Amino acid sequence: MRNIDSYTHTRGESVYLDDIPLTAGTLFGAVYGSPVAHGKILKLDLSEAEAMEEVVRIFTYRDIPGKNQIGGIVPDEPLLAEDEVHYNGMPVALVVATSVEAAQSAVKKIKIEVEQHTVVTDPRIAQKNGSLLVPPRTFKLGDTQKAFESCAHIFEGIAETNGQEHLYIETQGAYALPAENAAIKVYSSTQGPTAVQRHMADVLGIPMHRIEVDVTRLGGGFGGKEDQATSWAIFCGLATYHLKKPVKYCLHRMEDMRMTGKRNPYSSDFKIGLDKDLKIIAYEVTFFQNAGAAADLSPAVLERTLFHCTNSYFVPNVKATAYSCRTNLPPNTAFRGFGGPQGMFVIEAAIAKAAEGLGIAASEIQKKNLIQTGEEFSYGQKAESEAIVCWEKVQSLYDVEKIKSEINAFNTSNTLYKKGMSFMPICFGISFTKILMNQARALVHVYTDGSVSISTGAVEMGQGVNTKMLQVAAAIFSISPNKIKVNSTNTYRIANTSPTAASAAADLNGKAVQIACEKILERIKAVAAEILKCGSSVIEINGEKIYANKEVADLSWDQLVMAAYLKRVNLSEHGHYATPGIHFDNTIEKGHPFAYHVYGTAITTVTIDCLRGTYEVDAVKLVHDFGTTMNAIVDKGQIEGGVVQGIGWMTMEEIVYDAEGRLRSNALSTYKVPDIYSVPKELNIHYLETLNDNLAIFRSKAVGEPPLMYGIGTYFALRNAIKAFNPNSNIGFFAPMTPEKLLMGLYSSTK
């Protein structure tokens, strides 16, 4: 089934925040962000801005009726700066004016005097200064110290990954309207409607039930609107609260890039030990996470880095330590993969280093160490592994030996172009690592004409979750998808939502839809049994037809629904689902945190131009564990998008802050993202159907985040191509591999 949004998307009729018709009297907000990254505010001069005719009012922290606090995990983030600023762009004042232009120009008239303090942008320096967001955490399995003693080969090194702009097509924004009895309705481009509601209630000092958050869809979130959509919604809410007027604020792209956090950059130390048969015996890793100026989601991102620090491999002795380091950058945050990719890059770097040291291909080590069913991850959960199946399928399906010999032939006959290839196995745990978040709700109504409406806590952001919700209801009721409508995500219909994140939205909300539909179905079947004078157990509904004892009855779905209504049967249901069997004890860092894992393997081939440093991704060919996909088209879109986003992170996307903490890559002219010319020339996806029972909705495994990690393969393929040109090149493991870096690498030397 195609994505239910495709029709209105193509016609430009889909409603995003900026498409909501404005109510008369709407005012417009703009935030004044600190021009310096760290310091004490000595003076804030609003007078010139306030004097503008179109300016209605300028708010500072003094206008906050409740708590000036929006920290989600740690209460360390004020909505508006009080006497200190901690990053360039940190909100200091909110201007509200009669037009967007006036609000923007008033912001330029605000003056500030700041006593500047030392700016730290490097996580390792922050860690040395003792500037940590939360205490460090260590995951341990076995005894690395002892294990290293028996290793035949030991390699050490440093690996770094940079941040990544979310670059959702729709920037952050919100629109708040005053409602009856001092309530506020807010349209927000958020992945977490309840986060917006809860924090707005705290900031305004009013109960949550007075705040209605409504989300039709996002023009992309990618994690950037899990926590970071909240402040913009509260700014609108704060102004609406005071002015009793509708207030809208959609960020300009450059405001968005400057003021919001990105994927957490990491700098890491690794040490890997192998025995003579290339089995990884021991792995030690220390992660220095660049968290930015406030915790935001960084401690949770850090946790997932630890969970995925051994990727798809079984390592019997692991010691992984992670520091969440406070720096003077905008608070970094969730981004597709949520720390997982950052952890996986490091072990892939360690394996590449070992392979180079031993003069073999990394794949020799990779394939020997793939985790098998029953083997334990460092956090105690035992794998139900598809890692070897995926790897072997890639080998046979894509004729890897032939690819290898073609690359060798190419490299022998070309001096200024070289090709490289890599294998990238992935393993990603599905569930929020915070156990309590693994719950969801759905509200299903069947109307008297037989049509159905569904509301859930899932937010549609392009990943097709609404299509999947609709499919669940259509399958349970066995009615046409045309009879079903999925509504906007709204906190008045669905309370206490978990954010749409962790790739878990379809599973959690889908199961809640399933539960609600099954309850209604049971009641409707009982009515059919009554009408047809048989037992409920012999009633079946198939394609809107009612069968009794396998015989089609003279009774349609629509008629049956009406009959149920006339008999005063409840045609509405609220379903609640909580993932069973998951637990984690963070005092010992052991448990069973994931409902299941998603596996896959990709091979990537690239061609580099050794004169110019440019490159192309020739092909990404992968085998992905879908369980049993419930929507192959939607899932294909997720794989394609994820792969390209991963390639962008690993190659051309480069975030640059200067020593003063100022973002230099602050526009699309200075921050390069993949376009149609940079997607792999070939992208082959094989749907591995895995038949064992899992906790996914209709056994269709979560697909939102895992494919991004295939992109890591491109980095290593490029590296291998460089080595083919210059075996002594000195390139280290510093992503992204921009063309500049690649060019320098080609002509560098370890000798």
Tell me the residue type at 84.
E
- Determine the Cα–Cα distance for residues 678 and 616; give it in Å rounded to an integer: 7
User: 224-283: which residues touch ligand MOS (CB under 6 A)?
Assistant: 226
Is 505 a binding residue for ligand MTE by CB under 6 A? The answer is yes
Exposed e or buried b per residue across 407-431, where buried means at least 16 C-beta atoms within 10 angstroms of its C-beta: beeebeeeeebbbbbbbbbbbbbbb
Q: Does 506 bind ligand MTE (CB under 6 A)?
A: yes
Q: Which of 118, 92, 131, 704 is nearest to 431 (CA)?
A: 704
Cβ atoms within 10 A of the Cβ of 691, count? Answer: 8
Q: Is 336 in the site for ligand MOS (CB under 6 A)?
A: yes
Which CB sits closer to ligand MOS, 190 or 455? Answer: 190
342's contact among ligand MTE, ligand MOS, none, with CB below 5 to 8 A by partner kind, is none
Candidates 160, 165, 170, 705; catalytic one: 705
> Which among 560, 629, 571 has a CA at the least distance from the CA of 600?
629
State in angstroms the smallest separation of the CB of 679 from ligand MTE. Answer: 15
Question: Do residues 362 and 351 make contact, with C-beta atoms less than 8 angstroms apart?
Answer: yes
Q: How far is the CB of 430 from ligand MOS (least distance, A)?
A: 11
Task: Tell me how far apart the alpha carbons of residues 216 and 232 are, in angstroms, rounded to a whole number.
Answer: 17
| HEC sequence for 127-144 | HHCCCECCCCEEEEECCH
x/- map, 665-704, ligand MOS, by CB under 6 A:
----------------------------------------
Torsion angle, alpha carbons of 516, 521, 527, 528, to 10? 170
| Among 705, 706, 715, 717, interactor with ligand MTE by CB under 6 A | 705
* Of positions 502, 539, 606, 647, contacts ligand MTE by CB under 6 A: 502
Name which of 227 and 705 has its Cβ closer to ligand MTE.
705
- CB of 509 vs ligand MTE, minimal distance in Å: 8
CA–CA distance, 268 with 687 (Å, rounded to integer): 34
**Among residues 162, 228, 500, 631, the one that binds ligand MTE under rule CB under 6 A:** 500
Residue 502 or 582 with smaller CB distance to ligand MOS: 502
Q: What are phi and psi of 288, to 5 degrees?
A: -110, 105
- Is 223 among the residues that bind ligand MOS (CB under 6 A)? yes
661 lies in the binding site for ligand MTE (CB under 6 A): no
Select from ligand MTE, ligand MOS, none the partner in contact with residue 46, using the beta carbon and a kind-dependent cut-off of 5 to 8 Å: none
Q: How far is CA 336 from CA 5, 304, 509, 649, in A?
A: 22, 12, 19, 11
Other Cβ atoms less than 10 A from the Cβ of 63: the count is 16
646 CB burial (10 A radius; 0-12, 13-18, 19+) = buried
Q: Does 49 bind ligand MTE (CB under 6 A)?
A: no
Task: Decide if 492 contacts 193 (C-beta within 8 A).
Answer: no
Cα–Cα distance measured from residue 186 to residue 665, given in angstroms and rounded to the nearest whole number: 32
Position 501 contacts ligand MOS (CB under 6 A): yes
Judged by CB, which is closer to ligand MTE: 304, or 336?
336
Q: Give the separation between CA 693 and CA 700, rounded to whole angstroms.
A: 10
Backbone angles phi, psi at 563, to 5 degrees: -60, -40
DSSP per residue over 62-89, as a string?
A: GG-SS-S---SSSS---SS-SSEE-STT
Q: Contact at 8 Å (CB) between 441 and 497?
A: yes
- Is 338 one of the binding residues for ligand MOS (CB under 6 A)? yes
Q: Which 3 state secondary structure label does DSSP give 125?
A: helix
339 binds ligand MTE (CB under 6 A): no
Closest to ligand MOS by CB, 223 vs 707, is 223
With CB under 5 to 8 Å by kind, the binding choice for 505 among ligand MTE, ligand MOS, none is: ligand MTE
CB 79 within 8 A of CB 90: no
Query: C-beta of 37: minimal distance to ligand MTE in Å?
Result: 27
Distance CA 274, CA 283 (A): 9
Least distance (Å) from ligand MTE to the CB of residue 683? 16
Candidates 215, 421, 502, 721; binder of ligand MOS (CB under 6 A) is: 502
Q: Does 334 bind ligand MOS (CB under 6 A)?
A: yes
Cβ proximity to ligand MTE: between 33 and 341 the closer is: 341
Which whole-number Å values give the CA distances from 56 to 27, 66, 108, 231, in the listed order? 8, 22, 16, 20
Nearest CB to ligand MTE, comparing residues 341 and 450? 341
CA distances to 17, 103, 169, 222, 428 from 176, rounded to whole Å, are 11, 16, 21, 23, 37
Reduce the DSSP state of residue 159 to 3 states and report it: strand
Does residue 4 touch ligand MOS according to CB under 6 A?
A: no
Among ligand MTE, ligand MOS, none, partner that 506 touches (CB below 5 to 8 angstroms by kind): ligand MTE
At residue 566, the 3 state secondary structure works out as helix
Nearer to ligand MTE, 93 or 442 (CB): 442
Question: How far is the C-alpha of 323 from the C-alpha of 325, rounded, in Å?
Answer: 6
Please report whether residue 191 would count as binding ligand MOS according to CB under 6 A.
yes
Q: Identify which of residues 223 and 745 has a Cβ nearer to ligand MOS in the complex.
A: 223
| Beta pairing partners, 682 | 619
| Per rule CB under 6 A, count of chain residues that contact ligand MOS | 10
Pick from 123, 221, 246, 613 the residue near ligand MTE by CB under 6 A: 221
Cα atoms in the 13 Å half-sphere on the side-chain side of 95: 29
Q: Considering only residues 460 through 499, tell me which ones interact with ligand MTE, judged by CB under 6 A.
A: 461-463, 465
Span interacting with ligand MOS, options 252-260, 328-336, 418-426, 528-536, rule CB under 6 A: 328-336
* Cβ 702 to ligand MTE shortest distance, Å: 6
Is there a catalytic annotation at residue 705? Answer: yes
Q: Report, in Å, the least distance between residue 432 CB and ligand MOS.
A: 8
**Nearest of 506, 485, 520 to residue 440 by alpha carbon:** 506
Q: Is 303 in the site for ligand MOS (CB under 6 A)?
A: no
* Position 501 contacts ligand MTE (CB under 6 A): yes
Which residue in 503, 607, 631, 694 binds ligand MTE (CB under 6 A)?
A: 503
Report the residue from 175, 187, 222, 307 that binds ligand MTE according to the rule CB under 6 A: 222
Provide the β-strand partners of residue 591.
584
Query: Which CB atom, from 220 or from 600, has the smaller least distance to ligand MTE?
Result: 220
Cβ closest to ligand MOS, residue 539 vs residue 703: 703
Rounded to a whole number of angstroms, the minimum distance from the CB of residue 655 to ligand MOS is 17
3-state secondary structure of 297: coil
Residue nearest to ligand MOS (CB): 223
Partner in contact with 641, chosen from ligand MOS, ligand MTE, none, beta carbon below 5 to 8 Å by kind: ligand MTE
The one-letter amino acid code at 512 reads A
CA quadruple 514, 519, 520, 524: dihedral sign? positive
Q: Give the residue with the Cβ less far from ligand MOS, 300 or 494.
A: 300
Query: Residue 335 interacts with ligand MOS (CB under 6 A)?
Result: yes
Q: Which stretch binds ligand MOS (CB under 6 A): 91-99, 332-340, 435-443, 735-743?
A: 332-340
**326: partner contacted, choices ligand MTE, ligand MOS, none (Cβ within 5-8 A by kind):** none
Looking up tokens 């003069």, which residue turns up?
359
Q: Which two tokens stand for residue 372?
A: 């098998």
* CA angle, 560 then 561 then 563, to 5°: 65
Count Cβ atoms below 10 Å from residue 513 Cβ, excluding itself.
Answer: 33
Of the candidate spans 110-118, 330-338, 390-398, 400-408, the one that interacts with ligand MOS by CB under 6 A turns out to be 330-338
- Considering only 178, 450, 641, 661, the residue that binds ligand MTE (CB under 6 A) is 641
Q: Which residue ranges make up the site for ligand MOS (CB under 6 A)?
A: 191, 223, 226, 334-336, 338, 501-502, 705
Q: Which residue ranges make up the site for ligand MTE (CB under 6 A)?
A: 220-223, 336, 461-463, 465, 500-506, 638, 641, 702, 704-705
Instruction: Provide the annotated active-site residues.
Output: 705
